[in-house]
């Protein structure tokens, strides 16, 4: 499936844990799409970028005022290093509001791309080798 997204649609591979998850991008952001291994089809979550942690806090307060659940609470993702809050949606999926996602940038002409921060690929408690980002 990764081949379709990279070869046909032109996305670039940012990170992956083979057999578990692949992070793909079409912008300098660390990822715009993540493909996660699953036993069936489905949509896990959509993420919406905001301008900063203050906006995440304002959204949390607004949800609280309307008695909506905060879901998973505020956290920082290991892969992508973005701060976010994740909560359940009415249709049984998840919604994430985040800020400060890592960017992939080129170091020099002809060299491989690198992310702003070094991260380890972690899926649950299982660790695996990080795949270098494509330029």
pLDDT digit string, tens, across residues 53-91:
999 888 888 888 888 776 777 888 777 788 888 888 877
The pLDDT assigned to 70 comes to 62
Helices within the chain (DSSP H only)? 2-3, 53-65
The pLDDT assigned to 124 comes to 36
Close Cβ partners of 110 (under 8 Å, ≥ 6 residues apart): none
Domains and CATH numbers, the chain: 40-128 (3.10.180.10)
**Separation between Cα atoms, residue 22 and residue 2, nearest integer Å:** 8
18-46 pLDDT, tens digit each: 999 999 999 888 888 889 998 888 888 88
Does the reported pTM lie above 0.85? Answer: no
Token pair 């973005």 is found at: 82
- Tokens, residue 38: 């699953």
State the number of CA atoms in the 13 A half-sphere of 8 facing the CB: 5
Q: In this model, does residue 128 exceed pLDDT 50?
A: no
Buried/exposed code over 88-118 (b: 16+ C-beta within 10 A; e: otherwise): eeeeeeebbbbbbbbbbeeeeeeeebbbeee
């Amino acid at each position: 499936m990764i081949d379709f997204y990279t070869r046909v649609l032109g996305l670039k591979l940012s990170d992956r844990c083979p057999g578990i998850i692949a992070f793909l991008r079409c912008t300098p952001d660390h990822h715009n799409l993540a493909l996660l291994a699953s036993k069936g089809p489905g949509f896990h979550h959509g993420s919406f970028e905001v301008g900063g942690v203050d906006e995440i806090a304002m959204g949390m307060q607004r949800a609280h005022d309307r008695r909506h659940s905060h879901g998973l609470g505020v956290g920082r993702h290991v892969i992508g290093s973005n701060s976010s809050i994740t909560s359940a949606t009415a249709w049984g999926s998840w919604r994430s509001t985040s800020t400060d996602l890592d960017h992939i940038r080129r170091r020099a002409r002809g060299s491989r791309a690198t992310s702003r921060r070094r991260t380890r690929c972690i899926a649950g408690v299982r660790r695996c080798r990080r795949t270098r980002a494509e330029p």
